[in-house]
Amino acid sequence: MRSLTLGFQEIEQTQLMLVGGKGLHLGELSKLKGIQVPEGFCITTIGYQQAIEQNETYQALLDRLTMLTVEDREQIAEISSAIRQSIREVVLPSDIVNGVTRYLSQLGEEHAYAVRSSATAEDLPHASFAGQQDTYLNIIGQQSILQHISKCWASLFTDRAVIYRMQNGFDHRHVYISVIIQKMVFPQASGILFTADPITCNRKVLSIDASYGLGEALVSGLVSADCYKVQDGQIVDKRIAVKKLAIYGRKEGGTETQQLNPEQQKSQTLTEQQILQLAQIGRQIEAYFGCPQDMEWCLVDGTFYIVQSRPITTLYPIPEVDDQANRVYVSVGHQQMMTDAMKPLGLSFFLLTTPAPMRKAGGRLFVDITPMLASPDSREMLVNNLGQSDPLIKDALTTILERENFITSVPNEKTIPSGPNTNDNEMVAANFQNKFEPDSTIVSDLIKNHQTSIEELKEVIQTKSGSALFDFILEDIQQLKKFLFDPQSLGVIMTAMNASAWINENMNEWLGEKGAADTISQSVPNNITSEMGLALLDVADVIRPFRDVIDYLQHVNVDIGEDELVKIEGGQESLDAIHAYLNIFGMRCAGEIDITRTRWSEKPSTLVPMILSNIKNFEPNASKRKFEQGRVEAVNKEQELLQRLQQLPHGEQKAEETKQMIDLVRNFIGYREYPKYSMVNRYFVYKQALLKEADRLVAAGVIVQKEDIYELTFEELHEVVRTHQLDYQIISKRKDEYKVYEKLTPPRVITSDGEIIAGKYKRENLPAEAIIGLAVSSGVIEGRARVILHMEDAALEEGDILVTAFTDPSWTPLFVSIKGLVTEVGGLMTHGAVIAREYGLPAVVGVENATRLIKDGQRIRVHGTEGYIEIL
C-alpha cells in the first residue's frame, strides 16, 4: 500500500518515476524551512500501472497510437479519445482506495481538495510539458476524489499531450502519471512567479503576475494580470491591469467566475511589501533547486502558499564564465551563417581554429566582446564593423552601451583587442590597409598556395595514427590559421569590400543610384562558391539525356547504389560527372563549420533533388549562359556608370576613380569565399582520418558506433584513443543535451545576466505591413515564397523566392533556380549575400522570424534595394 500512496513529507528526491515532476517538487518544497505548501499526498505511478496493465482495450489502442506520426492529427484525436474513455472506466485497485481513505482521515475528509496530474515526463529541466495534463479544483468527498483520479490518468492522453510527446521523442509506453491530492486553499490573490524574466531571459529580474481569486483565471487567459518586476530587492517596474473577473471556490464544491466591482478591477493586487516578500520566497526556492523556477502561488490571509515550482525550460543558457563581472557575448553563428547547435567535436575544432575569446552555450559559440566595449576607441570600431555585418547586433550593443555602469570603461591602451569572430575575414581585416593593383596575380597565387598545401596534407596524414595523428592535426591547424589570417589574403578581401562600399556610397551620392556594386559584382572570377552552383548545372547536363538514370535518381531513398547505377544506360557517365563534382565540392554540406556534419561525399544522395530540379528547370548549357548573362550585365552597368559620370562636373576624374574601384571589385571580390572553402577542405581531411580511429575504437569495443566520437571534444577523443578507456554515459548524456540544444534559438547578443538584447531596424516611410530586414542585393522581384528549413527538402520551381533561416555556402546550388532570397540571419558580406549579388538575385537578410511570418506558397515581393518584403 505504501508504494501506491505517499504523503508529501514521505517523497524522496530519487522518486521522480513514482510521483512525477510536479509531485517530486511539491515533496521537496514541503520540507523547505519557511515555505508554505498546502498539505497533500500522491497516488504513485505504480497505481496507474496496476490499473491499466490488464486493460486489453487500452493496450491495443496504444499499439495503434505508437504507429502514428505528428502529421496524423485525425487518427491521433480518434485513438486518444478512445484511450481516455477506456482509462476513465477502469476499476481503481483496492490499495489505492484504502490509501486515499487513510490520508483523508488524517487531513480531514470534510476539506476541499485539488486533484492534479503529475506525469513522469513533466516539469523536467529539458521539457516542461506545462499544462498538458488536467487539474480539478475544489473537489469535496472521497467518492468524488476517487472519480477524479481516473480522470487525471485519462488526461495523459489528451491530444496535445500525445502530440507533445511525439515532438519531444518520449515513448507513450514509458511515460506514467501520478495524481496529487492536495488541500485546497481559497486565496484572495494568486498568480505566477518567474525567477528570471520570461521575455528578456534576464536572470537578475524576477517577474510576478498577480490577479484576484484562484490562479485558473490567469492560467486559462480569462483575465489580464498585474505584472511586477523585481531586481536586487527593488521593484523596477509595475503594470497594473484591469481585472474584470476572478474565479473563486464554491462551498459545495467546484468553482465559479465572479465579476469584480469597478474599484477592485483597477486596484493593485499585491502591496509593495507583499511583492518584495514573494520575490524573497522565489529566490529562496530558486537557490534550493539550483536553476530559475516558474512557480504558482496563492495569498491566503496574508500568507503566501506555493502550489507548484518547476524549472523554466525556455531560457537560453548563459555562456560559461569564471567570474561575476558583467559581460556581453555576440553569437558566432550569426556571423558564420550557421545558427544550428553543434556537436562537442565540432565546437572544439572551431575553438582550435580561432584566436577570439570564445565561450560555449546551448551547443553554440559566443565571443566575449566585453574588453573591446570597455575601450572608447575599440568600442566604436567594433560596433560599426558589426553594424555593417548585422544592424540588429549593432542596435543591441548600442542599447547596452546606453546603460550606465553595465560596462566599466578603461583607458584605450589597456584594452585587449578581440573581435566577435576573428575567424571571419571582415572582422580581422580591419587592421590591414594593403593596396593591390587590380591586374595583379595575387589571387591566383593565393589559391595555388592553398591547393598545394591541401594536397600535401592529404598525403602526409595517411601516415599518421593514434596519438601521432592528434599531434599532427594540432600542428596542421597552425598552418590553417596562417592561411585564414594571412595579411595578403585579408588585404585582398578588405580591398574588395572597401571598393564595393566606395562604389555604393559614391554612385548614390553622385548619380542617385543605390546598390550599384551589386550589379558590378555579378559573374566575377575565382568565386569558388558561385562556381559550385553553376557546376551542378553541368552535372545535370550530363544526366539529362538518360531517362532511365533520371528515373532511378527519382526513386533514390537513402543513397545512390553505384553498382546498380552503372548497369543502366548512361549510368557510368552520370557517376563520373557526380564524382568529378564531389572531388572539388564534396567536402561541403549544410552547417559545414561543424566538422561532424555529413559531407556531400559521405552522402551524395543529398545532391539528387538539386540535380533533378536543374534537369527539370533548365535547358542544356545553362551554367555558361547564366555566367555570361551576369558578366554582360556587369559590363553594361560599368559602361553606363562611367558614361553618366563623365557628364558631371569633374566627370573625367570621377569616372577614372570609379573605373579603378570597379576593377578592384571585379578582380578581388570573388576571393572572399575562398578562405572558408580552404578551411572546410582541411576539416574534411581531418575528419576522414579521425573516423579511421573511430573504426578502431568500435572494433575494440570502446564505442558502439563510430559517430559516437562526435560527442567528445578533440582533447577527450585524443585521451580515449590513447587509453582505450571511456565512461559511455558521457556519450548518452551529451546526445540528450544535443536534443535539447537543437530546439533552442540562439540570440544575437546575450549578457552575463542571461538577458537577450533584441535589436531593432530603424526605418521610416515603408508600407505599413512591410517585413523589415537588411538590403544586401538590389532589385525588386515578385514570386512564390518557398519556406525551406533543410536544403535536402527543397523542391523549387524556377522563379521561386527562397525563404529560410540561414544559408551557408552549401545552399548555393539552389540559388541557380530562385529569383530572390530572404533569410532570418545574415549581413552585407555573409555568404548568402555575396552569392545573391553575384547571381543577380534581389535579397533581404536578417529578417526576424521570416520563416514564421511568411507562409510557404504565399506570393511575396522582395525589395532588395530598400530591404523589406511585402506579402501580396
Model confidence pLDDT, tens digit, residues 385-405 = 888 778 899 999 999 999 888
Question: Does 634 score more than 80 pLDDT?
Answer: yes
Q: Which of 530, 569, 424 is nearest to 835 (CA)?
A: 530
Find the catalytic residue in 25, 450, 831, 863: 831
Query: C-alpha cell of 200?
Result: 528578456
Q: Among 165, 216, 228, which Cα is nearest to 186's?
A: 216
pLDDT score, position 495: 93
Q: Distance (Å, rounded) from C-alpha 402 to C-alpha 132?
A: 42
- Report the C-alpha gap between 783 and 859 in whole angstroms: 5
Q: Which amino acid is present at 147?
A: Q
Q: Is the pLDDT of residue 432 over 60?
A: no
Q: For 285-299, 406-420, 722-736, which range has the lowest pLDDT when averaged over its residues? A: 406-420
Q: Which residue has the cell 526605418?
A: 763
Round to whole Å and give the CA distance between 822 and 804: 7
Average pLDDT over residues 851-857: 95
Element (H, E) at 318: none
Mean pLDDT of 57-64: 89
How far is residue 748's CA from residue 314's CA, in Å, rounded to a whole number?
Answer: 16
Average pLDDT of span 304-321: 90
CA–CA dist 840, 347 (Å, integer): 34
Q: Residue 410's pLDDT is what? A: 81
Nearest to 6 by CA among 25, 27, 28: 27
What was the pLDDT predicted at 17? Answer: 85
1 vs 868, higher pLDDT: 868
Q: What is the mean pLDDT of residues 469-485?
A: 95
Task: Starting at the earlier edge strand, list the strands of the sheet with 780-787.
Answer: 771-772, 868-871, 859-863, 780-787, 800-804, 818-823, 843-845, 774-777
CA–CA separation, 610 and 796 (whole Å): 9
Task: Please report the DSSP string for 457-518 in residue order.
Answer: HHHHHTT--HHHHHHHHHHHHHHHHHHHT-HHHHHHHHHHHHHHHHHHHHHHHHH--SSHHH
Q: How confident is the model at residue 220 (pLDDT cuts 50, 70, 90)?
A: low
pLDDT of res. 434: 47
**pLDDT value at position 121?**
61
Q: Which residue has the higher pLDDT, 452 or 799?
A: 452
Rounded to an integer, the average pLDDT of 755-776 is 89
| pLDDT surpassing 90 at residue 782 | yes
Tell me: pLDDT of 414 over 70: no
- pLDDT of 427 reads 42
pLDDT beyond 90 at 574: yes
Could you tell me the CA-to-CA distances from 146 to 81, 96, 152, 560, 783 in Å, in that order? 21, 9, 10, 59, 60
Please spell the DSSP secondary structure of 43-103, one letter per residue. E-HHHHHHHHHT-HHHHHHHHHHTT--TT-HHHHHHHHHHHHHHHHTPPPPHHHHHHHHHH
Going by pLDDT thresholds of 50, 70 and 90, the confidence category of residue 428 is very low
For residue 361, name the pLDDT band (cuts at 50, 70, 90): very high
The answer to whether 107 and 294 have CB atoms below 8 angstroms apart is no
What's 860's DSSP letter? Answer: E
Model pLDDT, residue 697: 97
The mean pLDDT value for 220-247 works out to 87
Distance set, CA 435 to CA 487, 734, 825, 829 (Å): 11, 48, 31, 20
pLDDT at 639: 97
What's the average model confidence in pLDDT over 706-733? 96
Cross-strand bridge partners of residue 248: 256
Q: What are the cell numbers at 430? A: 580591419
**pLDDT at residue 793 is higher than 50:** yes
pLDDT at 419: 42
Contact 355/292 with Cβ under 8 angstroms? no
What pLDDT does residue 693 have? 97
Q: List, for residues 63-103, the tens digit of each pLDDT value.
A: 899 888 888 889 999 999 999 999 988 889 899 999 999 99
If you write DSSP's letter for every residue of 242-292 in order, what string do you get? P--EEEEE-TTSSEEEEEPPHHHHTS-SS-HHHHHHHHHHHHHHHHHHTS-
Q: Quote the mean pLDDT of the chain.
A: 89
The confidence band for 711, taking pLDDT boundaries of 50, 70 and 90, is very high
Q: Which of 424, 362, 423 is nearest to 746 (CA)?
A: 362
Neighbouring-strand partners of residue 43: 5, 179
Cα(809)–Cα(597) distance, rounded to whole angstroms?
14
Looking at mean pLDDT, say which of 91-100, 249-258, 594-603 comes out highest.
594-603
Residue 856 has pLDDT above 70, yes or no: yes
| Span 614-626, average pLDDT | 94
Write the CA distances from 670 to 432, 622, 835, 852, integer angstroms.
19, 21, 9, 33
Q: How far is CA 660 from the centre of its chain?
A: 43
Instruction: Report helix, strand or coil for 554.
Output: helix
Closest CA to 131 of 300, 278, 313, 304: 313
What does the DSSP 8-state code read for residue 754?
-
DSSP string of 408-432, one letter each residue: ----GGG-----TTTTSHHHHGGG-
For residue 431, what pLDDT is reported? 42
Is the pLDDT higher at 717 or at 175?
717
Average pLDDT over residues 449-458: 96
C-alpha cell of residue 269? 493586487
At residue 300, the pLDDT reads 94
Least confident among 134-143, 190-199, 676-685: 134-143
Q: How many residues does the chain have?
A: 872
Model confidence at 168: pLDDT above 60? yes
Eight-state DSSP code of residue 808: -
Q: What is the mean pLDDT of residues 822-834?
A: 86
Q: Which of 338-352, 432-446, 448-462, 465-479 shows the lowest mean pLDDT across its residues?
A: 432-446
pLDDT > 80? residue 3: no
DSSP one-letter code for 240: P
In sequence order, the β-bridge partners of residue 179 are 43, 117
831 is an active site residue: yes
Higher pLDDT, 762 or 679: 679
Average pLDDT of the segment spanning 612-624: 94
**What confidence score (pLDDT) does residue 125 get?**
45
pLDDT at 221: 67
pLDDT of residue 729: 94
pLDDT bracket for residue 412 (50, 70, 90):
low
Is the pLDDT at 537 greater than 70? The verdict is yes
- To the nearest whole percent, how much of the chain has pLDDT over 70? 95
| pLDDT score of 723 more than 80 | yes
